[in-house]
Structure 1
Amino acid sequence: MKRVLAGFIMDGRSGGIDKYLLNFLENVRGDDVGIDFLTNEIDPELESYLRERKSRIFAIASLKHPVKQYRQVCKIIEQGRYDIVYLNISTAIDCAAAWAAKKMRVNRILLHSHSSGNDIESALKRKIFDIIHYICRLTLYRTATDYYGCSKKAGLWMFPAKIVESPDFSVIFNAVDTGRFQHNVEIREEIRGELRITDQFVVGHVGNFVYQKNHFFLIDVFEALKKRCPEAVLLLVGTGVRFEQVKETVREKGLEDSVKLLGFRKDADRLFQGMDFFVLPSNFEGLPTVGVEAQCAGLPCLMSDTITDEAKITGHCWFLSLKKSPEEWASFILSHRQEQDREAVRIGEGSDYSLEQLKKQQKYLLYQ
């Protein structure tokens, strides 16, 4: 049996890396492959889920204690005799496990980058973490045998250009169940009824309320749009550390009746159907799965130009600089609101994001 130690997972529900790793487990597990996971704190529900699939999960120290984490991972590898260590990370600061794998002479060490920035609330701390990231980045690549990214931009954030441009680097796009998001008139009417929306122009956004997603700029854009389009409504799906701050900003601007804060939802596929336009003004992204999902739902999409153009899979997805004013963003949205027939959307490169393509790539990375 091929033994794989994969990290880092949280609770199986917390974000893109969790979703990716659970897809990885389902796609490659079998009699010839055993997969165990690294985490910082064991979630009982996730542990039970993994146990049913004959996988174990190990709790290790957080990044606040890198030496302790290094020693723990060395011990886990020694006892488990793993053939592959597969680390999915967002920053090069998360390097202790990679160095532990190299110390233990694991045959293959796979590094997979899932971001292109540090999601830290404090500007000062973010600057400090960026500096530490770039210091760690100088040597992190020396630990690995294989390199991956959810986009080329994510790869360049984590690895030197010489690595990203070499055959040792591959892009594995975040998978989307494209059929699940296809435009559906019945679901559209159903969800708009639930949200008490009639003939309003609905702008939507899905994402955690954190620095990365840039909600305060989005609220400014919507405020400018609302002045020119009184029937506009903004749907915000998600939760996070900035949720209450955003809620207060909405109240201060007098937009409570027009901004619907929906919190955490498991039915984003249905919510996309109720929207008319999708906006993603992120400060950075590895590759935004929600942007691909929105396009699969036939929505016109406007994203910040900090986002890689690999996220564009239809002719009705555009990129705009965050240096542009909220008024300019609002004008762009209004001038493109009628650009698309959702029944006739052409997905283009969407096959690169399919679940079947992901399965092929994940199986290949184990056996190449």
Structure 2
Amino acid sequence: MKVLYLIDTLEGYGAEKSLVEITSGCTEIVPVFVHIYQGDLLKPRLEHAGIKVYSLDLNQKYAFNKALEKLIPIYLREKPDIIHATLFRSEIIARKLKQKFPNICLIGSFVSNAYSSERLRRKNLLDKLKLQFFFNLDRRTVKYVDYFISNSHTIKDRTCEALRIDSQKVEVIYRGRSSSKFDPKTNLEKFPYLNNHNTILLNVSRLIPLKGQEDLLEALPEIIKRFGNVSLIFAGHGAYREFLEEKARFLKVEPHVHFLGRVDNINKLLLHANIFLYPSYSEGLPGALIEAMMAERIIICSNIPENLECVDSNSAIIYKKGNVSELSTAIIKVLNNPEKYRYLGENARKQAIKKFELGKRIVDYQDFYKRIKGKPKNKKFRILHLIQKPQNRGAETFACQLANHQINLGNEVKIVSIFKGNSTLPWHDDINYLQTSSTLRLVDVQGWKKLNKIIRDFKPDVVQANAGDTLKYAVFSKKIFRWKTPIIFRNASEVGKYLNNHLQRKLNDFLYQNVDQVISVSRTSRNDIITNFPILKNKTIAIPVGIENRKKIISEELQPSGYRHIIHVGGFTFEKNHEVLVRIFEKILKKHENVHLHLLGDGPLKKNIEKLVKQQSLQKNISFYGYVNDPLPYIKAADVLVLPSIIEGLPGVILESMYCKTPVVAFNVGGMAEIVGKETGHLIPPNNEEAFVYAVRQILKGDNSEIISNAYNMVETKYLNRKIAERFQEAYNFHF
């Protein structure tokens, strides 16, 4: 797939820099760049990465029609699948191109809070009139854009409101940075032009009024009175530099202030800084702030929403925008005892790696492009779902729920089960059985033959193998009986955790060579299967599980009455880690006597856990329910859902708990981090039982309303099955 990136210039500003870093790491698309106006600082980096760059080099400020004239031959020559425009002038030119070529798939970008009141407040009358003109042009032509990528939720919400854009057309993908480039353990060398013995206060940003550098200068005299060996460093350039230099002279702080201009090796400069200062009044998603987080710096920043989407009170000192007194007090507080605030930098790096690691963002971009490419135009499919057996397991339940929604989308769907099972699945039609024996899994010629007959009769467009042994049956049947239907494998876990020997790896390698696509349940599962089987690199995408939309869930009355209730829902298998759960619960009991643990589920290890509970004399404190057909009333009645699993894909029970407005505590395994974070729950490092206990206690005694609201809204927005089914539809259409 070829993506043509249209951008104003290739100077080293935030939007350009981020796009260059992301595209340089793309392996599943062919990027081509066109920069319209003069300024090509980043061009050599793109060319070094093997990316073609066209330089139109216009020297006028706008010249939209002239740019269009030069762009059309490039578009016709390159024939891109997608055009992705970034920054206002390029966006307008791209929309003009779309008017001439309506079949273009056009993506726009939200990279700044372009129409904020703060930005407008600082303009003179002429500039305000000019901004209003361009705002009207933007709103009038935005209809030509098919999709948008926003670099933050804050910018998405504000821009959608300002331009009246349907938020469903907007995908939020954060800017990425490579954590390895900002490793705080790197040996420091002396940085040129600095007094390397001074305490360094660093600001990295363009020198413009909105970035708040004047506030830093006004805070500096008070700081110098207390700490004479302080240097305030500005790394960046812009039209505001002359004003700031004059301001430094006026305040008599000039010897302590250094303007470095544009700095290429920002990572090295950051590692020299003692405190990173970010006093902005308005931002997009601040890349410099993310870099400071990656570098594990102590951060002091303004409380604008764009900054708060990156850091919180556990990773930065946050002060009220424009409050110079509060800013100087914060700096002095850190300088008095920097070790006391070292933990903020450590937390900031952890948060940055989780949210902004470059490799993850590259995957997000490529997945988004693949998802929208050739979006289905009412294309209908015949879909055959292959399941292990009717059992109370997430893979089978989700396959049936998905199948129901696929029928609602106009598809024809059949479900085939390899083995017999006793459970009732949420499927509104008959299930076909191969009626085979589980002892014949690798030599079941009769089973493969029966599957061949079903496929010949049904003539599906797609065979989807949903976890378990389903892929073995699909591949062996196809190889022996030579049917041609594409096979999709639904990867519902982390396969690398189950590879115990060389023979197993060789078998899986053979199976994966014969699939047409893998749809993984999470990005973590996707990365795991690609790491273990690189042949799948260009065949694998991530689509999560979803849950059903239910109008009303009536809470179960959990006993004992008056107690706080902890719930776990899951099969009794080694992956679910019930032994550790019992141990965690014992520790919780020491602080909370009136608390009860409810275990919903069945499985081979249930008797072992019942025996353990009896040995620990916990029978009055722990209840076993066996399999429960509808766990949601129980989850809704509980105070907290816990999931201390050692292996997961992306567990639907977490989404169900969020939908029931019950807080979640889980170990950070599999795709957990993709749905559970500080804003939506409590994510605990694997095997850290003490942290798990602490998190549960915090929920039992605290106010969880904000987390509950965030989690519920996330599920409502992204994880309802009807929306997930549309993503499967897009995947089928793209590949088949």
Same fold, TM-score > 0.5, yes or no: yes
Mapping of 1:293-304 within 5 angstroms? Answer: 293-304=656-667
Q: How does 1:106-145 map to 2 (within 5 A)?
A: 106-117=484-495, 128=500, 131-145=502-516
Alignment of 1:360 onto 2:726: yes
State the Cα distance separating 1:80 from its structure 2 match: 4.5
1:241 is aligned to 604
CA offset digits 1:279-331 (Å, max 9, x no partner): 1001101111111111222222211122321232771422223332x344323
Q: 1:247-269 deviations in whole A, cap 9, x for unaligned?
A: 11111111111112122222311
Q: Amino acid of the residue matched to residue 435 of structure 2?
A: A
Call closer, same or farther: CA 1:25–1:94 in 2, change over 3 Å.
Answer: closer
> 2-side partners of 1:346 and 1:4: how far apart?
35
Q: Structure 1 pair 301/163, CA: closer, same or farther in 2 (3 Å)? A: farther
* Partners of 1:294 and 1:89 in 2: CA distance: 24
Residues 149-187 of structure 1: CA deviation (Å, up to 9, x unaligned): 111223344445656654x43322211135558xx7xx4
Contact 1:176–1:292 (CA under 8 A) maintained in structure 2: yes
| Residue in structure 2 matched with residue 264 of structure 1 by the alignment | 627
Matches within 5 A, 1:8-157: 8-11=387-390, 13-29=391-407, 33-41=412-420, 50-51=429-430, 56-62=432-438, 64-68=440-444, 69-90=447-468, 94-103=471-480, 104-117=482-495, 128=500, 131-157=502-528
How high is the sequence identity, in percent, across the aligned residues? 17
Deviation at 1:135, TM superposition (A): 2.5
The 5 A counterparts of 1:208-357 are 208-308=571-671, 309-312=673-676, 315-324=679-688, 326-337=689-700, 338-341=702-705, 345-347=709-711, 348-350=713-715, 351-357=717-723
CA distance in 2, matches of 1:288, 1:100: 30
Distance 1:349 1:259 in 2: 31
User: Do the aligned partners of residues 180 and 270 (structure 1) sit closer, same or farther apart at CA in structure 2, a change above 3 Å counting?
Assistant: farther
AA of the residue aligned to 1:66:
L
Distance in 2, Cα, partners of 1:144 & 1:258: 48
- 2:650 aligns to what SS in structure 1? coil
Contact 2:573 2:604 in 1 (8 A): yes
Structure with max Cα Rg: 2
Aligned-residue offset at 1:349: 3.2
* Amino acid in structure 2 at the alignment position of 1:4: I
Counterpart CA distance in 1 for 2:614 and 2:421 is: 38
Query: C-alpha displacement at 1:136, in angstroms?
Result: 2.5
Q: CA RMSD in A?
A: 3.3
Q: Which has the higher contact order (CA 8 A, sep 6+)?
A: 1
Equivalent residues of 1:116, 1:157 under 8 A apart? yes
Question: Structure 1 residues 44 and 155, CA, compared in 2 at 3 Å: closer, same or farther?
Answer: closer
- Secondary structure in 1 matching 2:642: strand
- SS across alignment from 1:50: coil
1:83-131 residue CA offsets vs partner (Å, 9 max, x unmatched) = 322111147x942422432552423221111122599xxxxxx774x65
What is the rounded CA distance, in whole Å, between the counterparts of 1:300 and 1:80 in structure 2?
44
Alignment correspondent of 1:173: 544
TM-score of the aligned structures, taking structure 1 as reference length = 0.81
In structure 2, what is the Cα distance between the partners aligned to 1:299 and 1:164? Answer: 37
Of 219-228 and 241-250, the range deviating more from structure 2: 241-250
Identify if the C-alpha distance between structure 1 residues 342 and 178 changes in structure 2 by more than 3 Å, giving closer, same or farther: farther
Deviations for 1:213-252, whole angstroms, at most 9, x for unmatched residues?
A: 1111000000111112111211111111122211111111
Distance 2:589 2:521 in 1: 35
The 8 Å contact of residues 108 and 144 in structure 1, kept in 2 or not, is answered as: yes
CA contact (8 A) 1:101 1:109 kept: no
Any conservation in 2 of the 1:302–1:317 contact (CA below 8 Å)?
yes
Given residue 443 of structure 2, which amino acid in structure 1 is its aligned partner?
Answer: V
Unmatched 5+ stretches in structure 2 = 1-379
Question: 3-state DSSP class of the match of 2:434?
Answer: strand
CA contact (8 A) 2:546 2:720 kept: yes
The verdict on how the C-alpha distance between 1:305 and 1:313 changes in structure 2, with shifts beyond 3 A counting, is: closer
Equivalent residue for 1:123? none
SS of alignment partner, residue 271 of structure 1: helix
TM-score, normalised relative to structure 2: 0.43
Once the two structures are overlaid, the 10-residue window that deviates more, 340-349 or 148-157, is: 340-349
